[in-house]
Amino acid sequence: MKIIFAVINNDDAPVVANQLTRAGINVTKMASTGGFLMRGNSTFISGVEDDQVDTAIGIIKKFSQRRGQISAYQPSEGSAPVEVSVGGATIFVLGVERFERA
């Protein structure tokens, strides 16, 4: 068994959650905030059997879109805002030593 943590842009979260659920993959969604742009994200947590990992990751990748966004972050005084790439997904997969449902 594995646990998947996926940090996803809020714009993509409803579709990703819906598609994971349709594939029979249970997911818990938590609100989170990115450190660089300080924008809202959704962190999904899902416990899956080993044979479901590739399916879950495929769905997350397919429905998490990268997009450009103008950043107001200015590393030094007088610098202009720049366009940065946001979205997509950051995915962590960890082994689960024990799982119980109470």
Residue 23: partners with Cβ closer than 8 Å, 6 or more residues away: 55, 56, 59
Beta bridge partners of 69: 84
**Residue 20: phi, psi to the nearest 5?**
-65, -45
Q: How far apart are CA 2 and CA 17, in angstroms?
A: 18
Give the tens place of pLDDT for each residue, 11-39: 899 999 999 999 999 999 999 876 655 56
SS3 17: helix
Q: Could you tell me the residue ranges of all domains in the chain?
A: 2-95
Name which of 43, 24, 23 is nearest 32 in CA terms: 43
Answer with the residue of higher pLDDT: 32 or 2.
Answer: 2
Enter the CATH code of domain 2-95: 3.30.70.120
pLDDT of 80-92, one tens digit each? 666 665 667 899 9
To which residue do tokens 């449902």 refer? 101
